[in-house]
Structures are given as C-alpha cells and as structure tokens.
Structure 1
C-alpha cells in the first residue's frame, strides 16, 4: 500500500510526537511510525525535569493545561556536601524555575491525546522500517504494519526521532558521520519508594562514598538515586543496604532522616555521553536520542529533544509557509550549538558531584569547586542559567 505525506516521522517518543503536533498546528501533514505498541509508549517509565523553555514550548503547543495543574514548579534546590546544606534559589538568581512531578511519561500521554483529537495517523507496532532515497527529492519510508502488510510512504522530508538504536542514523552514509562518545566510570541506582519525601525540592548530595539524589514522585512516593559501579547489579542491593547507604550519603547537619518505606522499583542506569554529527543528510533530519545522549545528572535528555524539535519544526514550517529552506539547511549547525552546551554542563555537573575512588587529588578539586560555587553569586547564577534551560533557538513558537 502506498501513501503520501509532507513529513514522515519515525519514532513516537517525545521528539516525534511533539514535532508532529507543532507541524499539525501549522497545517503541515505528517505521519508517525512507531515500532512499539501504544501501551508501551504511554507507560514507558522515564524521569523528567522540565526546563522553563520546554514548558513554554509545550504551552505554545496547547499542551500545558494538565502540566500546570499537576506539575510542581520548583524555584530552588538543595546542594549537600561536607555535611552542610545550601539552598540555591534559581528564581531569585535567574527569574526562572523548573517543573518536576510531571515526568516524560505524562508529556507523552498529553501528546498522544492531542494527536487523537486531530486524527493524524500514527502507526504502532510497525517493523522492517527502511528510509530510502534520502538524498533525493522524493524520499520514501517502507515498513510493515502490525498485521505484516507492506507499506510505502512518499514524503518531502523524513524526521528520524527513533532513538539511539533506531534505523535513521545508520541511513546516513558512514563516511559522512562522526560520533563523539564518553563513558563514565559509574552508574545510577534508582529506586521508587513508598515513603513521603523529606523535601519538596530536589536534593543533590556529594559524599566520599558517592553521589546521591533525593526527589519526589508524589507527596507519598520518593525517587532516590545512588552512585554505583557501572557493572553493579540490582541483586547486590537488598532494601536494607539501600536505605543504610542513602541515609549515610544524604546525611547533613539539621536535616531530618529520610523516610523509609517499601521499595516499589529498582533499576540501574549507565552514564554516558554521545553526539553524532551532522544531524541531517539530504531530506533526513535527526532529533532526540537518535542524535545525542547525555548523562542524567542535569536532566537534559528530554529537554534537548524538545530543543531539537523547536528548531526542526521552525525549519519545516518556514519551508512550507515561505518556500525558505535556510533554517532547514542550517538545522544541524544550530541544534548542535545547544547540544554541545548541554553536554558540557551535564559533564561538568556529573564530575562535580560524583566521587571516583582512588582519585584523591580530583576529590580535593571537587571540594574546591563546590565551595567556589556556593560562595559566588555569579557562579551560582551561571549554574542556574544552564540548569533551568538556555533559550531555544526556534523562532516561530516564541
């Protein structure tokens, strides 16, 4: 079966769904293909800290009602080291805040509900997806639907929003692609606990035994993280050991002990950075995890995907509205500027807070950097400007 559209979007994660939404609002026809079923997409557990520019763009896309009703806007966070506590007031320093308690899962649900209302096609459980002719004026995407029937979509452009393991990035000739990677010597052990959080704001803790973090999923459920070795396993961490280690690392003068409760979920997340260049070839454009991965410390993953889409949607809308390809042609260069700034901040925050055993000299430097950060209003302001989110490069939606 053959069909036509203006933009074929591969991947129904936040990047693909948001791109489809912004294009539809400007009258640009699009089709989304997704390898997983809808239930998986809607319930895929992902953390989420929304930067101010991300919230602004979701508002512009008509997706802010539930977010503002159920999300929590945090104006500061707490930094702990050396047994001391320092609250950093992001609102006072930058005029901006972050949104928590509204993880990526909820953003995806909102995007899917909005697409249901417009009736635009989204094909779930597709297989054998193959972009063709991406260096021609008539690219196509071939795939099989959930029933095994073959389809071909002819499009003007293809958006590769299909994640790190997707088919779009490998479609660009390898001789033209350069990748940059960095693996970190630690991982995050994350838990969901049926225990009320001790703070409404995020707590980041630097300790000689390793990094830890406290956040909330609701007024009754806490989300906590521990730095562990990259080859560690969930089986090595019985509940009693988890709580003992968290209490030790999170301990600080004047702070109450963590509330303990039943642990509902455990997982280990590796820490790595990845960027591919360029983000475009012919009529194929990469966005989200297909283009980059950041360590979770600064929570830039979802926000970078939204930033990519801000630029890419502007380029596509401008092309169809004005016949102007200048933004599209410059998409890779423009998006990569923000990507690399986010990578740098994520690396710096990761290396600031995580302890590497056996590196005593580096540990002393970490302490000096932490002391310098909390002692300087200028340093804290720069940190918070990056943490709450640099402005998006897109123009149409602002």
Structure 2
C-alpha cells in the first residue's frame, strides 16, 4: 500500500488536490481532518442558487479587478452543496440550476461571477451538504455571509429576510415564523418586521434605498406612513418625508435659539431682591441703588414688602386694601408685649443702608405659612422664588431628620 493510500494528499488554498478515498476515510476516522475539505472545482459544474437575495455584484470594472486578484490568490473558498442535497430541498429548481451543475453555491457568488468574468475555469470550494439539512438551515447559511456586508444594500437584505421567513412558515407554519427567523439571525422580531416593511414600499423608493439616496431609517418612516394610508404613491411619500424633515429642522433651530437666549439671559447681571438673615431687603447678585421709601398714602398692598419694625400683623384683605388707598394710614400702636409667633428684630444686625429699600404697609405674616408663601409668591420674580423654594426644601430636610429619628 502506498503512502498516498495510507494518509492521502494534502491541500492548500490555490493548489487543492483530492485525497484517495481510503486516505480520506482514515483521516476522518482519526479526526485529523474535518468532514469537509477544500476541493478545486470546475466552474462549469457549479450553479448559483436562485434563492440568493443579492443582485448587485459590482460593475464590470470591479468584477475585472476582483477576478484578477483571484487569479493571483484566492484567500477565501466558496461554499457549495451537492446537486442531490439541494434538489432534495427544492426539487422545482432543477431547471433553474441546469442539467450540468453538480454543485450549488451557498456562499461566494461574487467570487464565482468575477472568476467567470475574467475567464478563470476553477476555484477552491468547500462542499458541505450538512448546510442543506433543512430549508431553514440552507437559507440561514445563505444569509450569514451577507447580512453584515457594507455592499449588501438594505433591500437585498430585506429580500433575504423575507426568504427566510417564508421558509420558516413553510416548515413550521405561519404563526411564529418571524420569531423563528429572528432567532436564527440573532435579531429581535421587531427588526425582522422592519425589514419586511421596507418591501411594501413602491419600487421607486426601493431603488432609492438600494442606492443609499434614502436612509433605512427614513424608509421605515415611509413604510409606517404607507401602512396608515395605503393609497399614497411614491411622489406623495417622498414629499411627505421632505416636509417632515423640514419641520424637524425648524424645530431644532428654534430649540437651539431658545437655548442660546436662555444662556445669554443667565450670563447677564440682573438686579434681584432676596431676604437677608435679618429680614431686610438685599441684593442677590448685582448691586442696585436702594429705592426711596414711598409715602404711606401712596403705598398699596401690591407694592408692599417687609415692614421695618417686623410687628405682628396679618395680610389685609382686598377690601381693606382698597379702603386704605382712599384714606391716610395711621401708624400702628407700639408693641406692649412680645408675641411668641413674631420674631424680635435683632437690632445689632440691622444696617441703615440695607433698610432703605423696605416699603412699609402690609407686614410680613410670620405666623401663617399659607399667607407667608402667598406674600412672597406675589412679590418675587420667578428665578428668586425658585431659589427660595430650594433653600426652604433643604431647611425642611434638616427639620425632618431629627423628627424621623425621634419617631423611630
């Protein structure tokens, strides 16, 4: 027995030689080679499957360049199944693959076509009938090489997904066919649904999607619009898309304008009046000249702030305020006793210059939370009122913590 018969011949890309049957059987038994190996097949014995969703294999110039590269070295083998294995799954394809084809391509049709284009007569192949165990297996492997290719356009991909869904429906029923296809492709069911939706668009828009002139995202938007109104044509859909993009761009520009205006307003120095620790009027940011006290008879409840003497007095009603505006006010009587609900002014912290802007009239209601809140809400601008709310919230948290501990 010769050495060839014992171990078979080796093979490599670009120079594949067949093993003897005995040598191959021995190598398979020992596990030194896989169940399939590289073989060099005549291209006239190979046919492309009509199931391949890919239709664009490049221009004549691109195919010539790629074919010459294959002439120098074939870096990746084509994948095929035998004719009997293929026709067992699709017997009605016999006339389409021809009578001379002994093998049917699974992957590598671009290499196959480019090689024929430049006149090559053979290429390296891996023959794997295990890929044709079921229809689903075959179509799944047919798509595997193409789904992530940059030159595999969105419509070709959608057709491939449609083919797999159809096969899943034939083998396992219509119900759940999309979910089974999604599982095989490693995608979500919603992704499969979105791919199929692209094929519902008019042919003119599908051409634009294939050429990249309409994005896949816009294609899904148009498909949803078409589902809502199936009577729309390609021109209407494209016009609707153009208007939607225009409107979105205008909204974006308006949002940017408002954001820029807000930032500019925040950077400007604005006089804002807040409360100091001694309940006098002070400036929160930029310093502004203090206003002169208004005469008592010209002061209404709407322009009143804090009283200078911090006496206890509730907010006056609307009727009292109206009556007071028509007759001169009389100064309040001096306090004879301290009230627990009214804090005593701290004389040592009162600065004459800080109290010049205080308007007398309606006094701040220290002992009524609702009236105090309304008082400040009516007299403070929005920014300062929100600052006050934040400060009060922090103070409230400080009070709640001891109460919570005591309760526990």
Larger relative contact order, structure 1 or 2 (CA cutoff 8 Å, min sep 6): 1
TM-score by length of 2: 0.21
Structure showing the higher strand proportion among its residues: 1
Instruction: Give the greater-gyration-radius structure (CA).
Output: 2
Q: Is the helix fraction higher in 1 or 2?
A: 2
